[in-house]
Each structure stands twice: as structure tokens, then as C-alpha cells.
Amino acid sequence: MKNTELLIYMLEDIRKVTLKGIDGLTKEQLFAEPIPGEFPIGAYLMHLGECDLGWLKVMDGKDEDKELSKRAYDCKWFDAGKDYDPPKEVIEIEEYIDVLSKCRSKVIEYIKTLDDSVLDEKYTYIRTFEGKEYPREYTRKWIIYHLIEHEAHTRGQMFMLIRMAGFKNKGDNN
């Protein structure tokens, strides 16, 4: 098995487990604060989509799919800071799933174009935050690993909040 094939398998598997964990929740539960002052579970879900698109842009150097980015509430909901502009109305469950599926599919389709030999190539990405530039060096392998690691971390937060809110009981996310 090639490394790219293994990475694709892991990206698909982790997303499948994430979506299984929200199975049975209502659209209202996904949209409501699970506990006071916390982001809704749906915001965490869309954050996974926006991360897929953001890191894909770092890897392939192409502009993001603006419509899909908008549907994922990129930089508008989860940790948006002063640009906080979350959705005003409850989002249908199918919309979350469709956005997540399309975002992840774009990453997977990109990885399918790669040969294992390019996974460790280093290149610099300059992130601008509050007017200051932060150059960082990445490899495609690290970025893909980070998408997997980040989803596992975010999923753990979501599942804990789901239980704390009483939406599911211990063990129900498995």
C-alpha cells in the first residue's frame, strides 16, 4: 500500500467515525450551544470542513472553492474573532453532511494526484494574522497528518460536549 493510499484511508475512516458520532442528533441540537458559552456542535462540524479547504489551499496553491467555503462558514462561526457572523437559522443535517463530504472529497481527490515521493517536499506558506506575516514550513505529509489529528481532537471535544449537554449518554458516540 502506498503512503497516499493509507492517508486517504485514514481521512475517510476518521470522517466516518465523526459522522457516526452525531447520528441521532437533531438539527436543533447541532445548532444550539451544548453548554452556555460554547460553540454549537454544528460549528465544530463546519470547522472541520473549513480546515479541509484551508489546508488544501496550502498544499495545492489554488484559490479555495468560494461557494463551498461560504457554505462551511469559513472564518465566520468557529473561532472567528471579530468577523463572527454565524448562521442565523437552523441548518439542515443534510447540509452539514454535504459540506463535510464535499470538502473532504476535494482533499482526497488532490491526494490521489500525488506520488509518495512528493509527500516530504518542504515548502513555505506565509500566514497573515492581524497584519503580521508568519512564514511556516510544511510538508504535504504533515498537513494531511494534521487534518487527521485535528479531526480526532475536535471530535473528542464534540463528543464530550454532546454528553455534557445530555444529547447522548456515555458510550453512545461509539
Asked if pLDDT for residue 172 goes beyond 80, the answer is: no
What pLDDT, in 10s, does the model give residues 12-64? 999 999 999 999 999 999 999 999 999 999 999 999 999 999 999 999 999 98
What pLDDT, in 10s, does the model give residues 75-89? 899 878 787 889 999
Q: Examine residue 152 and state whether it is found in any structural domain, yes or no.
A: yes
Q: Examine residue 104 and state whether it is found in any structural domain, yes or no.
A: yes
Q: Examine residue 172 and state whether it is found in any structural domain, yes or no.
A: no
pTM of the model: 0.93
Residue carrying C-alpha cell 486517504: 8
Question: How far apart are the C-alpha atoms of 61 and 70, rounded to whole Å?
Answer: 19
Q: Examine residue 171 and state whether it is found in any structural domain, yes or no.
A: no
Percent of the chain with pLDDT over 70: 99
Q: Examine residue 75 and state whether it is found in any structural domain, yes or no.
A: yes
Q: Examine residue 40 and state whether it is found in any structural domain, yes or no.
A: yes
Question: How far apart are the C-alpha atoms of 141 and 162, rounded to whole Å?
Answer: 31
Task: Give the count of domains, the chain.
Answer: 1
Q: Cα angle at 156 between 110 and 22, to 5 degrees?
A: 80
**Cβ contacts of residue 6 below 8 Å, gap of 6+?**
none
Which is nearest to 17 in space by CA: 163, 164, 160, 159?
A: 159
Q: Examine residue 169 and state whether it is found in any structural domain, yes or no.
A: no
Which is nearest to 63 in space by CA: 20, 106, 116?
A: 106
> Which residues constitute the domain of residue 127?
3-164
Q: Examine residue 129 and state whether it is found in any structural domain, yes or no.
A: yes
Kindly report the CATH number assigned to the domain that includes residue 23: 1.20.120.450
